[in-house]
Amino acid sequence: MFSKACQYAIRAITLLAMEGRKGRRMALVEIAERTGTPRAFTAKVLQQLVRAGLLDSVKGPGGGFDLPPQKARQVTLSMVVKAIDNDDVYRGCGMGLPQCNARKPCPLHEQFQHVRENLRIMLESTNLHDLSMDLERGVTFLK
Amino acid sequence: MFSKACQYAIRAITLLAMEGRKGRRMALVEIAERTGTPRAFTAKVLQQLVRAGLLDSVKGPGGGFDLPPQKARQVTLSMVVKAIDNDDVYRGCGMGLPQCNARKPCPLHEQFQHVRENLRIMLESTNLHDLSMDLERGVTFLK
DNA sequence: CTAATTTCGGATAAGAACATCCTATATTTG
DNA sequence: CAAATATAGGATGTTCTTATCCGAAATTAG
């Protein structure tokens, strides 16, 4: 469904949303440790999120990555997924036809749209603040 | 969502279901042509379906691949997907956690289950006969 | 100002998915 | 039986994703 890069991104940014609420900034090493993701690769992923404007970063001692609470409320899962996986999840034919639309649909076109619409709504209506709250309460886990 | 191998499989076997209703058998070359998929790779995929028992094959002149109408009614999309992609679509955590279950769920566990349950029902309730009927009526297309 | 820390970014490597090629094997036709 | 046809399957190549490594740039602390 999502690429590994995208999965790592969601885990990392959820953690950052939680710590961000306490005004904390996190270094890459700590993020990778607490999410159980490979350091170097996670760095690349976080850089993409920064470039996409979903995350802040600060260099030097005491630096790291940072997601202010205000931003955590605005950023949705959908934005994170799009930043990493493009909008492959939304667009594109389930059966891989180069052209597939309502006028010339693949055999699964109809059924697929429903499933994907479901996914779209889920991703767009979930923000990082909500996800991080469950995490802080100890209801959910990152590794 | 599905691998290319799986997409090719669905396209090919849908076509075979349609032709099978007319008592026809199809050679690999014709299948690849009419589904717009790479020949050699499609061959591999069809072999997997044959080994999984979802499809019949006959060697030699006049041979090819064959899906009898009776079988087309019994074979669901779910079976095809499982034969090619294993049950990765059903199992596995959306965020890639090695262990993710109701007792120790990832932040998306709940939401993800709904989406995937939706997909599961869709795949299990769609059989090849139905798909091929739409194709024969010219309502849907394979390339 | 110097040294230490931390992200940034390019280069490179390892692995999986996708794709092709060629020979072997089975089957039909003449 | 011989020749032609078509799938089966192993070997190989290509491309994309995943992952690592290392030096550059920026920032803080002393």
Question: pLDDT tens across B43-52, in order?
Answer: 999 999 999 9
The pTM for the full model equals 0.94
The C-alpha atoms of residue B62 and residue B68 are separated, in whole angstroms, by 16
> What does the pLDDT read at residue A120?
95
User: What number of other Cβ atoms are within 10 A of residue A135's Cβ?
Assistant: 20
A60 to chain B, minimum CA–CA distance in Å?
30
Contact A108 B77 (CB under 8 A): yes
Q: Residue B78: which H helix or E strand, with range?
A: helix B77-85
Nearest to A97 among B109, B131, B143 (CB): B143
Set of chain A residues whose Cβ sits within 8 Å of the Cβ of B97: 36, 141-143
Average pLDDT of chain A is: 96
Q: How confident is the model at residue A126 (pLDDT cuts 50, 70, 90)?
A: very high
Q: In this model, does residue B23 exceed pLDDT 90?
A: yes
Q: Are residues A31 and A72 in contact, defined by beta-carbon separation less than 8 angstroms?
A: no
Q: Give the pLDDT confidence of A34-48 residue by residue, as tens digits.
A: 999 999 999 999 999
In this predicted structure, the answer to whether residue A19 has a pLDDT above a threshold of 90 is: yes
Helix (H) or strand (E) holding B111: helix B109-125
B62 CA vs D17 C1’ separation (Å): 41
> B140 contacts in A (CB within 8 Å)?
105-107, 109
Whether A77 and B108 lie within 8 Å, measured CB to CB: yes
Read off the pLDDT band of A18 (50, 70, 90): very high
C22 C1': nearest CA residue = B40
- Residue B128: band (very low, low, confident or very high) from pLDDT cuts 50, 70, 90: very high
**pLDDT for the residue numbered B91:** 86
The predicted model gives A119-138 an average pLDDT of 97
B83 with B134: CB under 8 angstroms?
A: no
Q: Give the pLDDT of residue A90.
A: 86
Please write the tens of the pLDDT for every residue from A55-80: 999 999 999 999 999 999 999 999 99
**Chain B neighbors of A107, CB-CB under 8 A:** 10, 14, 131-132, 134-135, 140-142
Q: How far is the CA of A96 from the C1' of D6 (A)?
A: 27
Residue A92: which pLDDT band, with cuts at 50, 70 and 90? confident
CA distance, residue A106 to nearest chain B CA (Å) = 5
Q: Among residues B89, B79, B87, which one has the least CA distance to residue B17?
A: B79
In this complex, the residue of B95, B105, B114 whose CB is nearest that of residue A10 is B95
Kindly write down the DSSP assignment for every residue of chain A, as one continuous string. ---HHHHHHHHHHHHHHHHHHTT--B-HHHHHHHHT--HHHHHHHHHHHHHTTSSEEE-STT-EEE--HHHHHH-BHHHHHHHHHTTTTTSS-TT--SS--SSS--TTHHHHHHHHHHHHHHHHH-BHHHHHHHHHTTSS---
- What is the pLDDT averaged over residues A80-91? 92
Question: What's the pLDDT at A39?
Answer: 98
pLDDT of A89 higher than 90: no
Q: How far is the CA of B41 from the C1' of D11 (A)?
A: 14
> Considering CB atoms only, which of B1, B94, B131 is closest to A94?
B1
**pLDDT at res. A141:** 98
**Cα–Cα distance between B36 and A91 in angstroms, integer?**
20
Quote the percentage of chain B above a pLDDT of 70: 100
What's the CA–C1' distance between A41 and C14, in Å?
14
Closest of A58, A83, A72 to residue A2, by C-alpha: A83
Mean pLDDT of B61-80: 97
Nucleotides in chain D with any atom closer than 7 Å to protein CB: 4-10, 17-22, 25-29
pLDDT value at B108 more than 90: yes
Model confidence at A5, pLDDT cuts 50, 70, 90, reads: very high
For chains A and B, count residue pairs whose Cβ atoms are closer than 8 Å: 99
- CB contacts of A96 in chain B (<8 Å) are 2, 4, 7-8, 11
User: What's the topology of domain B4-137?
Assistant: Arc Repressor Mutant, subunit A (1.10.10)
Each as own residue / partner, the long-range contacts of residues B56-62 (CB below 8 Å, 24 or more positions apart, any chain) are B58/B25, B62/B25
Domain ranges (residues) in chain A: 4-137
